[in-house]
C-alpha cells in the first residue's frame, strides 16, 4: 500500500489556485526529474487522476485545506466533499486560519473532532501579514490539537513565506518541544535548511518530514536519504506534491532507498499518523 501525503487533486477550489492555473510552473518541476506534465493536470480531470493513481500504485492521497493564503484558498467544505465522495482514496486535513484562532478552534471541532478529517494544516508564512509558526497566536490551536491527539501539518520549507526565515528549523523545534505529544508534519521538509532540520529531528522525536518535491535532484536530498536509513526511518513520509510533480515520481522515490525501509516511508509512517488500519492491505 502507498499513501501520498501531499496530493492536491483537480477538485473544487484547487483548480483556481496557482498550482493549476500556472501549469508552466508544474511542468518546470516535473522536468527536474525528467518528466512531463501529467494529462490529469493538463485536463484537470479527476477521472484521469484516479486512473493515474491506479497505474502508479497510489492507494490513498492526503489533501489539505488552505485558508487565508495570500494566493487563494481551498475550503474545508471542499475537502469534506472530496473525502466523502472518494473515502477509500483520499484523507483530508482541515486548513486553519493563522490570523483567527477563534474561528480555527471551531473548525478543528467541526471537521476533525466531530468530522471525518484526520488532521489540520497551517501555512502561517503565507498569510498577510505573514506569521512565524511559533507565534503565540497559534498556541491555542496547538494546545487543542494536543488535547485531542490531532496531527498538525505546518508548511515550513520551500516557498513558505516572504523569505527563508519563515522555514528556519528553530520554529519547528520550539513548537514541537512545547507540545511534545503532538505529531508535527513539516511539509516541504524544512528545505533548504536540510541539515539543520534533520539535526532538530534527531533530538525532537515528534517531528515528521515530508520532503516531497525537494527530495528529487535538489541540494540536500542525500541528507534526507541518509536520515531515512537511520534515525528517521519512522518519520519520513512519501509525498509527490502533485500537481507540482506527476504521480509517476513514485518510481524515482523507490530507487533512492533500500527495499526494506520502503514500507515505512511509503505507508506505515503515514498510516500511524492518520490512525488507519492497513492490516491485510499491503
Residue 282 has pLDDT above 70, yes or no: no
17 is written with which cell numbers? 489556485
Across the range 134-150, mean pLDDT stands at 98
What kind and span of H or E run contains 218?
A: none
pLDDT in the model for residue 35: 85
What kind and span of H or E run contains 95?
A: strand 90-95
| DSSP-based three-state secondary structure for 139 | helix
pLDDT in the model for residue 81: 98
pLDDT in the model for residue 281: 58
Across the range 109-117, mean pLDDT stands at 98
Residue 136: HSE in the Cβ half-sphere, 13 Å Cα cutoff:
0
Q: Using CB atoms within 10 A of its CB, is residue 251 exposed (0-12), middle (13-18) or buried (19+)?
A: exposed
Instruction: State how many domains the chain has.
Output: 1
pLDDT in the model for residue 71: 86
Q: What percent of the chain has pLDDT over 90?
A: 89
pLDDT band, residue 37 (cuts 50/70/90): confident
Phi, psi of 167 (to 5 degrees): -110, 5
Grid cell 508548511 in the structure block, residue:
155
Q: With beta carbons less than 8 A apart as the criterion, state whether 172 and 197 touch.
A: yes
Residue 94's nearest CA partner among 125, 56, 122, 61 is 122
Q: Read off the pLDDT of residues 63-77 as tens digits, 9 standing for 90 and up.
A: 999 999 988 899 999
What kind and span of H or E run contains 97?
A: none
pLDDT band, residue 162 (cuts 50/70/90): very high
| Mean pLDDT of the chain, nearest integer | 95
Q: With beta carbons less than 8 A apart as the criterion, state whether 82 and 63 touch.
A: yes
**Does 264 fall in a domain?**
yes
**Does 121 fall in a domain?**
no
**Does 200 fall in a domain?**
yes
pLDDT band, residue 191 (cuts 50/70/90): very high
**Does 12 fall in a domain?**
yes
Q: With beta carbons less than 8 A apart as the criterion, state whether 111 and 101 touch.
A: no
- Cα–Cα distance, 282 to 268 (Å, whole number): 10
Question: Which comes out higher in pLDDT, residue 81 or 30?
Answer: 81
Residue 118 has what DSSP assignment?
Answer: -
**Does 132 fall in a domain?**
no
Phi, psi of 213 (to 5 degrees): -70, -15
Q: Read off the pLDDT of residues 203-257 as tens digits, 9 standing for 90 and up.
A: 999 999 999 999 998 999 999 999 999 999 999 999 999 999 999 999 999 999 9
**Does 178 fall in a domain?**
yes
pLDDT in the model for residue 278: 75
Domain that holds residue 269: 3-62+140-274
- Cα–Cα distance, 176 to 197 (Å, whole number): 12
pLDDT band, residue 279 (cuts 50/70/90): low
**Does 20 fall in a domain?**
yes
**Does 157 fall in a domain?**
yes
pTM score, whole prediction: 0.96
Q: With beta carbons less than 8 A apart as the criterion, state whether 99 and 254 touch.
A: no
Q: How far is CA 31 from CA 25, 102, 122, 216, in A?
A: 10, 42, 29, 11
Across the range 122-130, mean pLDDT stands at 96
Q: What is the CATH number for 191?
A: 3.20.20.140
- Cα–Cα distance, 138 to 124 (Å, whole number): 9
- Cα–Cα distance, 12 to 2 (Å, whole number): 24
- Cα–Cα distance, 250 to 238 (Å, whole number): 8
Residue 26's nearest CA partner among 249, 219, 194, 224 is 249
Q: With beta carbons less than 8 A apart as the criterion, state whether 74 and 129 touch.
A: no
Residue 277 has pLDDT above 90, yes or no: no
Residue 168 has pLDDT above 90, yes or no: yes
Amino acid at each position: 500500500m502507498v499513501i501520498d501525503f501531499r496530493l492536491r487533486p483537480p477538485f473544487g477550489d484547487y483548480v483556481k489556485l496557482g498550482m493549476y492555473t500556472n501549469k508552466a510552473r508544474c511542468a518546470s518541476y516535473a522536468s527536474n526529474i525528467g518528466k512531463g506534465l501529467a494529462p490529469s493536470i493538463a485536463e484537470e480531470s479527476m477521472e484521469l487522476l484516479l486512473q493515474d493513481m491506479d497505474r502508479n500504485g497510489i492507494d490513498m492521497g492526503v489533501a489539505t485545506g488552505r485558508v487565508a493564503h495570500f494566493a487563494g484558498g481551498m475550503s474545508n467544505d471542499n475537502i469534506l466533499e472530496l473525502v466523502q465522495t472518494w473515502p477509500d482514496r483520499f484523507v483530508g486535513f482541515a486548513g486553519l486560519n493563522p490570523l483567527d484562532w477563534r474561528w480555527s478552534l471551531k473548525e478543528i471541532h467541526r471537521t476533525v473532532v466531530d468530522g471525518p478529517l484526520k488532521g489540520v494544516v497551517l501555512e502561517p508564512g503565507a498569510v498577510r501579514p505573514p506569521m512565524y509558526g511559533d507565534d503565540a497566536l497559534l498556541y491555542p490551536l496547538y494546545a487543542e490539537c494536543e488535547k485531542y491527539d490531532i496531527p498538525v501539518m505546518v508548511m515550513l520549507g520551500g516557498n513558505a513565506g516572504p523569505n527563508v526565515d519563515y522555514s528556519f528549523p528553530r520554529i519547528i523545534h520550539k513548537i514541537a518541544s512545547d507540545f511534545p505529544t503532538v505529531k508535527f508534519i513539516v511539509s516541504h521538509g524544512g528545505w533548504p535548511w536540510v541539515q539543520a532540520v534533520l539535526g532538530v529531528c534527531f533530538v525532537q522525536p515528534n517531528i515528521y518530514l515530508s520532503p516531497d518535491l525537494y527530495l528529487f535532484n535538489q541540494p540536500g536530498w542525500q541528507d534526507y536519504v541518509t536520515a531515512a536509513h537511520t534515525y528517521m526511518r519512522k518519520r519520513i513520509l512519501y509525498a509527490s506534491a502533485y500537481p507540482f510533480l506527476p504521480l509517476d515520481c513514485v518510481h524515482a522515490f523507490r530507487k533512492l532507498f533500500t527495499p526494506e525501509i520502503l514500507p515505512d516511508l511509503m505507508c506505515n509512517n503515514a498510516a500511524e499518523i492518520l490512525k488507519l488500519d492497513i492490516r491485510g492491505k499491503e
